[in-house]
Amino acid sequence: MPLSEHEQKLLEQLEKQLHEDDPKFANSMGSDPGRSWSTRHMVIGVLCALAGIFLLLVGVTLNLIFVGVLGFVVMGAGVYFATMRNSAPGKSHDGRPGKPGKSRSSFMSSLEERWDERRRGDS
């Protein structure tokens, strides 16, 4: 069901206000053009997932727990690999320019930095 003109205007105002209040959060919630789905990852991931399902079924049929567990792990890895996204070249995992393989130090340190930035902005 499409939005009415009034609802669209309200939505645009809310988006504008969000971008003004917290631009980092607004950008993180939007779609990231620097990251895209990879057909190669999808094909390899689906093939691994199918191989994992096959191993899982063989393990269950032959009553070999190790083969069944291995099949489950291969299947999970295939699904993970298929859903991975590629970053644009020349950008790090956090979307900032830099070395492609270098990521931020840790999740908690990034949260602490954001907290400190907000506290500095309020005072």
Answer whether residue 101 shows pLDDT above 50. no
Token pair 């602490």 in the structure block, residue? 112
Q: CA-to-CA distance for 43 and 78, rounded, in angstroms?
A: 9
Residue 24, pLDDT score: 79
* CA 117-33-114 angle, 5° bins: 10
Contacts of 2 (CB under 8 A, 6+ apart): none
Residue 31 DSSP label:
-
Q: CA-to-CA distance for 60 and 51, rounded, in angstroms?
A: 14
Phi (first) and psi of residue 34, to 5 degrees: -80, -10
Mean pLDDT on 106-114? 78
Residue 66, pLDDT score: 95
Cut 0.85: pTM above it = no
pLDDT, tens digit (0-9, with 9 covering 90-100), for 67-82: 999 999 999 999 999 8
